[in-house]
Amino acid sequence: MSKPRLVVVGNGMAGIRTLEELLAIAPGHYDITVFGAEPHPNYNRILLSPVLAGEQAFNDIVLNPLDWYKENGVHLHLGKTVERIDRVRRKVVTSDGTEADYDRLLIATGSIPLVLPVPGNTLKGVLTYRDIHDTQSMIDAANVKRNAVVIGGGLLGLEAANGLKLRGMEVTVVHLADTLLERQLDATAGKLLQRSLEARGLSFLLGKATSEILGDEAGEVCGIRFMDGDSLPTDLVVMAAGIRPNTALAEAAELYCNRGIVVSDALQTYDPRIYAVGECVSHRGVTYGLVAPLFEQAKVCANHLALMGIGSYKGSVLSTKLKVTGIDLFSAGDFTGSEDTEEIVLSDPARGVYKKLVIRDDKLVGACLYGDTADGAWYFKLLREGRKLGELRDHIMFGESSVGDSGVQGQSRAAAMADSDEVCGCNGVSKRAIVKAITEKGLFTLDDVKKHTKASSSCGSCTGLVEQILMSTVGSSFQESPKKKAVCTCTDCNHDEVRKAIRENHLLAHREVYDFLEWRTPNGCATCRPAINYYLLSTWPREAVDDPQSRFVNERVHANIQKDNTFSVIPQMKGGVTNASELRRIADVADKYQIPMVKVTGGQRIDLLGVKKEDLPHIWEDLGMKSGHAYGKSIRTVKTCVGSEFCRFGTQNSTQMGIDLETMLANMWSPHKVKLAVSGCPRNCAEAGIKDVGVIAVDSGWELYVGGNGGIKTEVAQFLAKVKTSDEVKEYSGAFLQLYREEAYYLDRTVHYMARVGLDYIKRKVVEDAANRKALYERLLYSLEGLPDPWASRIGGTQKHEYIPLKVIG
Amino acid sequence: MDMPVTHSWMRICELSEIPRLGSRVLEREAGNVAIFRTSQDKVFALLDRCPHKGGALSQGIVHGDSVTCPLHAWNIDLASGNAKAPDEGCSRHFPVHIDELGAVHLCLT
């Protein structure tokens, strides 16, 4: 049976991006034909400015070389303009008579530059700035001509002017408004920009309207005249006064257009067989001229073309960056403000720095930065998340580093980094490697960069920095990571939706989850399977059955895999308390199995490193100790100080409290690892301030702190409550941990969970509502009751095959 | 006419001894071999060494027709041993045969 036919009109960034998205999720679904009016494969239109400025060559900006079309079986017609759509017979016809039938049609005709309706606009030497042909014409003109006028002081106009100046021309920018980039910058920043461009040798005529372009007898441009009667001699006029959606083809086919081709949230036009994406569309009354929204549209459109039918495009928040080397400006959202907004402004004209943040209802709604844009990506993130600023407000102007929100690597700003500087400390990725991957492979999203370079794919602390590099490399085409994050590429569901489905539909097995949520893969992947396994077990304790094959090796074999494929063994040592007999057995095991390293851990236990897998059950048996769970997304250890039994400052028996907590929480699985500490006095020798649950004894009872973290980014735990008895310590800590177990996303530590729901919410559920606290605590005890020690069961033969290698038989 | 001997098969275990979506390890001097079983009961054998940093692929999570290395999460195609894009590299693969009685045979030559 023949495949349905998809015809794409427009071989530009929006159309081809849609194809890429489509091929990724439904390869081979369509027989695809592409028509492009230009004689080139898809190239990165955003990078025309560097080509004009002589910083890159055309070949550098090609996104999909001809081989790409061939490899993906796409029929490509270059240099052919589609003239007509026959919606009745479902075919398109080009100007040279080529025809193609379609079952689905995608219109991605982009936009066309505005040409001012003034006398002389067709003279030789009047150019627009839209495609590689225009760019080449400008480069050619710059070689033989001296004076240029650029009409339009917007992004495109300034980039054109800068490029021509770098090519050696004398350039004057003529602009209708009184300040430059008035749609992207406020007046103050616009003036700063003008000053620095003037310092580079550009001239400006602002508040000027063009009335006529003057020509000589040879029909070539020789000057320009304005409404106020002034005139200026020039050899070249570049019109960069704006673009408008290219809807001629759609209108001729009588598709409903209103400024652009009107599309639904599914990017479907009024003809259900015809979709449209990119600059040619009008979505909810808005047309877009930057690339990030086009890519969001492409993703949704591809989803519908692939017949999945679940994507929905809701419009985009825009940010802007000028691609003129050495000039840093950034704006996003509503940066002009209105009556109901407040502004925070930092102005340092001597340094050439100006920043304005616009706030409404305690949320960031706009940002305009000039001179120092290092925090642009961060502000843009805050803006899109729409989260309440609260205490952040006092520091927000001073950037991400001032609020400690950027992780260990975040202090060094992307722009200031040398190419050889390391960005990702986990995977040893330099700034150069990231920039190279972004430019050579045409990457636009954080996810792409992660996949190709591994940067920020391990601990994630350099994510902000990688986003900054991405942003400064691709400018306005930067694609903010989507707010709703799917669990993995097997699904579009996020963690919340998976949890909800499991809870509300009483799903008990992996298969049921894949079927119910229509997973795209037969049995998930290494990312989603462990998450689902945890959600099943934590939602339906004693009902859902653990699937060992969906656990990471450490949790499957109950030891921690090392770089040389050996394992480490850490026996439980509650509260860090041991005795001579245990130590003797550990020493004997170290001798008998020739353990290469014995090490004291940060959690007050003893680690035996370099153990062969097949020795594990024997070692556990010889040790005669329980599993310390030092390998799992689980309870780890409760660190304690000496406490009132021996310490002259101790106010309570912190050691026993720690032992009691560790006994209560034994064998507990959780979204991520869970560490506790109990200190016997406020000197806090057990470092309870950086634990998921930290308990500090005072003379009158115990103080409870939650959400601390000593890992990638140090976080101080927050005060939850003060209680009197050790039973209350158990109940409050248990209830908090159960809330975390029930609601956090897999691989979120308590600090991440709390950042999402807020401390007030936790207090309401755990401190203020005594009945709820008791219920949580009981659910915790219920799910832990009767869980066997995993080492004991494996000594007894459980999962035996894990530890015994195969031998050749016969 | 005798065909040249190109395959030398040896029996290593029963299919049922390999967990579904799991693996077993065959130890040998020239490098361990990981034997994988998919949800569809297809069996594959790869050198138990990730092309990235030598992680034991046998310890990874098996999904679809791939395994994810436990050390740095490279995805390796079970049939070819090739790393999935954008990673590049290959782990040697060996022919496997399941006979009608459910015994798994491996060819290391």
pLDDT greater than 80 at residue A458: no
At a CB cut-off of 8 Å and minimum separation 6, what does A398 contact?
A: none
Q: Which domain holds residue B49?
A: 9-107
Who has greater pLDDT, A428 or B94? Answer: B94
Instruction: Encode A28-54: b = buried (16+ Cβ within 10 Å), e = exposed.
Output: eebbbbbbbbbebbbbbbbbbbbbbbe
Q: Residue B34 domain-assigned? A: yes
Contact state of B71 with A809 under an 8 Å Cβ cutoff: no
Q: What pLDDT is attached to residue A349?
A: 74
- Using DSSP's 3-state secondary structure scheme, residue A365 falls into strand
Q: Residue B2 domain-assigned? A: no
pLDDT greater than 70 at residue A404: no
Confidence label for B6 from pLDDT (cuts 50, 70 and 90): low
Confidence label for A305 from pLDDT (cuts 50, 70 and 90): very high
pLDDT greater than 80 at residue A406: no
Tell me the whole-structure pTM to 2 decimals.
Answer: 0.61
Measure in Å the smallest separation between the Cα of A472 and chain B Cα atoms: 23
Who has greater pLDDT, A596 or A321? Answer: A596
CB proximity B108 to A under 8 Å: no
CB proximity B51 to A under 8 Å: no
pLDDT greater than 70 at residue A401: no
Confidence label for A411 from pLDDT (cuts 50, 70 and 90): very low
Contact state of B11 with A452 under an 8 Å Cβ cutoff: no
For residues A513 and A480, the answer to whether their CB atoms sit within 8 Å is no
pLDDT greater than 80 at residue A77: yes
pLDDT digits (tens, 9 = 90+) for A124-181: 999 999 899 999 999 999 999 999 999 999 888 998 999 999 999 999 999 999 998 8
List, as own/partner pairs, every contact residues A63-71 make where C-beta atoms lie below 8 angstroms and the sequence separation is at least 24, other chains included: A63/A13, A63/A16, A63/A442, A64/A16, A64/A20, A65/A41, A66/A41, A68/A41, A69/A34, A69/A41
Average pLDDT, chain A: 89
Q: Residue B44 domain-assigned? A: yes
Q: What pLDDT is attached to residue A412?
A: 41
Confidence label for B81 from pLDDT (cuts 50, 70 and 90): very high
Contact state of A525 with B32 under an 8 Å Cβ cutoff: no
Contact state of B11 with A809 under an 8 Å Cβ cutoff: yes
H-helix segments, A357-445:
376-385, 431-441
Q: Which residues of A touch B (CB under 8 A)?
A: 451-452, 454, 457-458, 521-526, 529-530, 548-554, 557, 561, 563-565, 801, 805-810
Residues of chain A contacting residue B64, judged by C-beta atoms under 8 Å apart: 521-523, 525
Contact state of A523 with B63 under an 8 Å Cβ cutoff: yes
* Strands lying side by side in the sheet with B61-63: B61-63, B66-68, B75-77
Q: Residue B60 domain-assigned? A: yes
Average pLDDT, chain B: 90
Instruction: Name the pairing type of β-strands A203-206 and A170-175.
Output: parallel
User: DSSP secondary-structure letter at A494?
Assistant: B
pLDDT greater than 60 at residue A405: no
Contact state of A526 with B68 under an 8 Å Cβ cutoff: yes
Residues of chain A contacting residue B21, judged by C-beta atoms under 8 Å apart: 523, 549-550
Q: Residue B3 domain-assigned? A: no
Q: Give the number of other Cβ atoms within 10 Å of residue A88's Cβ.
A: 6
Let me know if domain A633-788 sits in CATH 3.30.413.10. yes
**Mean pLDDT value across residues A351-361:** 87
Q: Is the dihedral of CA A175, A176, A180, A182 positive or negative?
A: negative
Contact state of B24 with A565 under an 8 Å Cβ cutoff: no
| ipTM score assigned to the predicted complex | 0.90
- Domains of chain A by residue range: 5-111+245-305, 126-241, 495-551, 633-788
Question: For residue A499, how many C-alpha atoms fall within 13 Å in the half-sphere facing its CB?
Answer: 15
Q: What CATH number was assigned to the domain covering residues A5-111+245-305?
A: 3.50.50.60
Provide the domain count of chain B: 1
CB proximity B60 to A under 8 Å: yes
The alpha carbon of residue A550 and the mean position of all alpha carbons in its chain are separated, in whole angstroms, by 26
pLDDT digits (tens, 9 = 90+) for A498-541: 999 999 999 999 999 999 999 999 999 999 999 999 999 999 99
Alpha-carbon Rg for chain A in angstroms: 32
The CATH number covering residue B23 comes to 2.102.10.10
Question: What is d(CA A589, CA A78) in angstroms, rounded to the nearest whole number?
Answer: 73
For residues A213 and A126, the answer to whether their CB atoms sit within 8 Å is yes
Confidence label for A481 from pLDDT (cuts 50, 70 and 90): low
Q: What pLDDT is attached to residue A407?
A: 40
The top-scoring range by mean pLDDT among A133-147, A180-194, A584-598 is A584-598
**Mean pLDDT value across residues A428-434:** 86
Q: What pLDDT is attached to residue A384?
A: 79
Q: Residue B79 domain-assigned? A: yes
Place of tokens 């080139």: A40
Question: What is d(CA A373, CA A190) in angstroms, rounded to the nearest whole number?
Answer: 15
Confidence label for A456 from pLDDT (cuts 50, 70 and 90): confident
Percent of chain A scored above 70 by pLDDT?
95
Question: What is d(CA A114, CA A92) in angstroms, rounded to the nearest whole number?
Answer: 26
Contact state of B86 with A549 under an 8 Å Cβ cutoff: no
Q: What pLDDT is attached to residue B1?
A: 44
Which CATH code, of 3.40.309.10, 3.40.50.300, 3.50.50.60, 3.40.630.30, is assigned to A126-241? Answer: 3.50.50.60
Who has greater pLDDT, A485 or A212? Answer: A212
CB nearest to A549's CB, from B20, B26, B70: B20
Residue type, A359: I
